[in-house]
Amino acid sequence: MTLTSIIIPTYNRLGLLRSCVESIRAHTRSAFEIIVVDNASDDGTEAYCRASKLTFISLPENRGFPLACNIGLQLAAGEELLLLNNDVIVSPGWLDNLKSALYSAPDIGIVGPVTNYASGRQQVQTGYTDIAGFHAEALRANIPDAAKWLETRRLVGLCFLFKRQLMDAIGLLDERFSPGHYEDDDYCYRARLQGYRLLIAGDCLVHHEGSASFKEVYSASLQELVERNRRIFMEKWQVDPSQFI
């Protein structure tokens, strides 16, 4: 059984991180390791990670999402690498179904789930109103079904599974997009330029609280940051990323 390295960048919002980690530990049958990369939280995150025996890296200041991911990727031991937001909750079957999609063909490079909150094609209509309702809905949604896989040109980085082979081919996330936004679009584009395909695994539903740490830090300037990084993407590739959504 191959090992999946689950890398969780985090900044404060300890309650969300705890719920995320607990859901992984409760609902993952495949072999995995968790690597938490903390962007200088001051809410007890470090004490929690140590008490929970998590692999934990503490940065001296908030360096943003791409750099935190890259540190985790460089420490990872797994053949599969999974970037996961700290505000995601998973349910039974989630990782097995993502891995089935990832290994369904040699040229599949990245896969992602469907969710209640995301930009683009991964957002689906959900009917639940609390986490118990999510798990009940996910129990039905996460029945393995390759007919629910959908090829796409873009995946959102909230839950982003790829092969080490892909990282060896295209490298780490581009840190010029720090503190975040469009680094996932950039990674998907680089993967497709190398001939890899991307899949949405419609048989994997995860709950996403929605940019929780970002809203806390950048709420006043979030739209400005998004626009800046969109310009960086367009200058880098001479392509408008909105055509991939």
CATH code assigned at 38: 3.90.550.10
**Sorting pLDDT into bands at 50, 70 and 90, what band is 195?**
very high
Q: What is the mean pLDDT of residues 39-63?
A: 95
Rounded to whole angstroms, how far apart are CA atoms 210 and 98? 20
In this predicted structure, what is the pLDDT of residue 50? 95
| Domain, as residue range, for 128 | 4-244
pLDDT at 97 over 90: yes
In this predicted structure, what is the pLDDT of residue 211? 64
Closest CA to 5 of 57, 55, 68, 58: 55
Q: What is the rounded end-to-end Cα distance, in angstroms, of the chain? A: 34
Query: pTM to 2 decimals?
Result: 0.94
Number of domains observed in the structure of the chain:
1
In this predicted structure, what is the pLDDT of residue 238? 96
Closest CA to 5 of 144, 167, 184: 167
CB contact at 8 A, 68 and 3 = no
In this predicted structure, what is the pLDDT of residue 224? 93
Going by C-beta distance under 8 Å and a sequence separation of 6 or more, which residues neighbour residue 175?
A: 64, 66, 67, 70, 183
Length of the chain: 245
DSSP 8-state symbol, 146: G
Mean pLDDT, the chain, as a whole number? 95
**Residues 196-244: tens digit of each pLDDT:** 999 999 999 999 998 655 555 555 688 899 999 999 999 999 999 988 8
